[in-house]
């Protein structure tokens, strides 16, 4: 079995400014960021932070982006992987991969390990096996290794795990016990105010800013795109800019955004129902 070398580059230039519409979540993150920045000081004072933070929410709500921004803001190495990487056919392989990941992280701590699709590795042990591509023993070994690594945190290793899932209800309760993932953060679909803030952020990125009408009606557009995730809003901005670029005309206007909202809704409804 080859040992994967994780890229743990510090996310230079990324900060909490790169994510918007989630003010309360950002506030919660400040404590963790300050701990990571001043790990030695806090550690010598005996301060402990949650070993794991679970980010729950539908696709495209910024869970991955938040993890990257927290790492960038704290200036610490960032290990990124997906829970599916630990699902294997042979017993012990997933557990060995988890050990390898944590071994690498310990060498550069303080750092963040981000595990996307965490439910793939953390599903309730009694519910794994049936109809799944990997055996129950393998799933149990993998999750037990995860628990072992997290319990090692009582010695304050400076590793913070941010795990993301769309299905928190299927997670093994042992994981959410105190001292493991004892902080759970809801990343729901944005409300109108948040959609407006996310839209503003994307429209004012250097890549788009020069192509968008400075009098864009952010409030009206945000009202019209109820149910959109942050990722949908980013897609909307790109589509509106593309629309005017293809037509070789000026700046993307409120009307272009509204046209694209309808277009995105039509595609989403086609994917869901097979008709527009």
Residues making contact with ligand ATP (CB under 6 A): 19-22, 57, 59-65, 116, 164, 166, 198, 201, 230-231, 234
The nearest distance, CB 255 to ligand ATP, in angstroms, is 23
Pick the closer one to ligand ATP by CB: 65 or 260: 65
Pick the closer one to ligand ATP by CB: 144 or 235: 235
Pick the closer one to ligand ATP by CB: 187 or 252: 187
26 and 33 Cβ atoms separated by less than 8 Å: no
CA 56, chain centre distance (Å): 9
Closest to 49 measured CA to CA, from 201, 157, 144: 157
Pick the closer one to ligand ATP by CB: 231 or 242: 231
CA torsion through residues 35, 37, 42, 43, sign: positive
**Does an H or E element contain 7, and which?**
none
Pick the closer one to ligand ATP by CB: 59 or 179: 59
How far is it, in rounded angstroms, from Cα 245 to Cα 260? 14
The nearest distance, CB 202 to ligand ATP, in angstroms, is 7
Q: Which residue shows structure tokens 């050990």? A: 99
**CA max distance for the chain:** 62
- The 78-82 sheet, strands edge to edge: 78-82, 111-116, 159-165, 52-56, 183-186
Closest to 70 measured CA to CA, from 96, 47, 92, 50: 50
- Give the residue at shortest CB distance from ligand ATP: 230
What pairs with residue 123 in β-bridges? 171
The nearest distance, CB 40 to ligand ATP, in angstroms, is 30
Structure tokens at 140: 């149990």
Pick the closer one to ligand ATP by CB: 60 or 94: 60
Pick the closer one to ligand ATP by CB: 16 or 141: 16
What pairs with residue 53 in β-bridges? 162, 183
Pick the closer one to ligand ATP by CB: 20 or 253: 20
**Does an H or E element contain 44, and which?**
helix 39-44
How far is it, in rounded angstroms, from Cα 172 to Cα 118? 11
203 and 212 Cβ atoms separated by less than 8 Å: yes
């Amino acid at each position: 079995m080859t040992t994967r070398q994780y890229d743990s580059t510090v996310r230079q230039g990324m900060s909490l400014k790169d994510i918007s519409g989630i003010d309360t979540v950002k506030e919660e993150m400040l404590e963790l960021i300050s701990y990571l920045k001043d790990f030695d000081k806090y550690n010598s004072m005996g301060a402990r932070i949650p070993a794991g933070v679970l980010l729950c929410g539908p696709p495209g709500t910024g869970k991955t982006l938040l993890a990257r921004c927290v790492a960038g803001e704290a200036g610490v190495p960032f290990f990124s992987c997906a829970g599916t990487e630990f699902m294997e056919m042979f017993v012990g392989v997933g557990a060995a991969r988890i050990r390898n990941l944590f071994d690498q992280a310990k060498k550069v701590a303080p750092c963040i390990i981000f595990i996307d699709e965490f439910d793939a590795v953390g599903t309730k042990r009694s519910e794994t096996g049936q109809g799944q591509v990997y055996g129950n023993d393998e799933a149990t070994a993998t999750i037990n290794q995860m628990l072992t690594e997290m319990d090692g945190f009582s010695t304050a290793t400076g590793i913070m795990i941010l795990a993301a899932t769309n299905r928190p209800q299927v997670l093994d309760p042992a994981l959410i016990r105190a001292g493991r993932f004892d902080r759970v953060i809801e990343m729901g679909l944005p409300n109108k105010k948040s959609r407006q803030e996310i839209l503003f952020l994307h429209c004012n990125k250097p890549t788009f800013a020069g192509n968008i009408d400075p009098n864009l009606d952010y409030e009206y557009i945000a009202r019209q795109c109820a149910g959109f995730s942050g990722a949908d809003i980013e897609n909307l901005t790109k589509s509106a800019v593309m629309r005017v670029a293809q037509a070789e005309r000026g700046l993307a206007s409120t009307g272009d955004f509204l046209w694209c909202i309808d277009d995105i809704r039509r595609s989403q409804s086609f994917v869901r129902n097979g008709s527009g």
